[in-house]
Amino acid sequence: MEVNYMSPTPTPPTPTTDGEDLCSLEVTDVAIDGVTLLICLCGLVGNGAVLWLLGFRIRRNPITVYILNLAVADFTFLLFMVTSSILYMIESISCSSAVSLRYMRSLFLLSLFSYNLGLYLLTAISIERCVSILCSSIRRPQHLSAVVCALLWALSIAVIAAVTSLCLLHKYEHCQMALISMYVLNFLIFAPPMVISSTIFFIKVQCGSQQRQPGRLYLVIFLTVLFFLLFALPLSIWNFLQQFGYFLVPSQVVFLLACINSSINPFIYFLVGSCRRHCSFVSLQVAFRRVFEEPEDNTACSNDTTMDTLAPAC
Tell me what pLDDT residue 20 has.
45
Span 194-217, average pLDDT: 75
98-119: per-residue pLDDT in tens?
677 778 888 888 899 999 999 9
Instruction: Classify 19-299 by CATH class.
Output: mainly alpha
pLDDT, tens digit (0-9, with 9 covering 90-100), for 125-146: 999 888 887 765 667 777 899 9
Does residue 9 register a pLDDT over 80? Answer: no
**Mean per-residue pLDDT of the chain:** 80
Is-contact 8 167, C-beta < 8 A?
A: yes
Q: What is the pLDDT of residue 64?
A: 93
Window from 35-49, 87-101, 114-128, 188-202 with minimum mean pLDDT: 87-101
State the alpha helices, DSSP H only, in 186-250. Answer: 191-207, 216-227, 233-242
Helix segments in the chain, DSSP class H: 19-24, 27-52, 62-94, 101-133, 144-169, 172-185, 191-207, 216-227, 233-242, 251-274, 284-292
Q: How confident is residue 182, by pLDDT bands cut at 50, 70 and 90?
A: very high
> Which pLDDT score is estimated for 185?
92
Taking phi over 0 as left and psi of -120 to 50 as alpha, with beta for the rest, 192 belongs to alpha
Per the CB < 8 A criterion, the answer to whether 110 and 29 are in contact is: no
Q: Is the pLDDT score of 214 beyond 70?
A: no
Band the pLDDT of 251: cuts 50, 70, 90: confident
Confidence of residue 196 (pLDDT cuts 50, 70, 90): very high
pLDDT of residue 98: 64
Q: What is the mean pLDDT of residues 175-192?
A: 91
Reference 257, options 287, 284, 237, 280; nearest CA is 237
Buried residues in 156-195 as b, exposed as e (16+ CB within 10 A): beebbeebbebbeeeeeeebbebbeebbebbeeebbeebe
| Ramachandran quadrant class, 245 (left: phi over 0; alpha: psi -120 to 50; beta: rest) | left
**Above pLDDT 70, what percent of the chain?**
78
* DSSP calls for 32-66: HHHHHHHHHHHHHHHHHHHHHIIIIIS---HHHHH
Residue 107 to residue 79: CA distance in whole angstroms: 10
Q: In the structure, what pLDDT confidence band is assigned to residue 265 with cuts at 50, 70 and 90?
A: very high
Confidence of residue 172 (pLDDT cuts 50, 70, 90): confident
Give the largest CA-CA distance in the chain.
76
Residue 87 to residue 37: CA distance in whole angstroms = 11
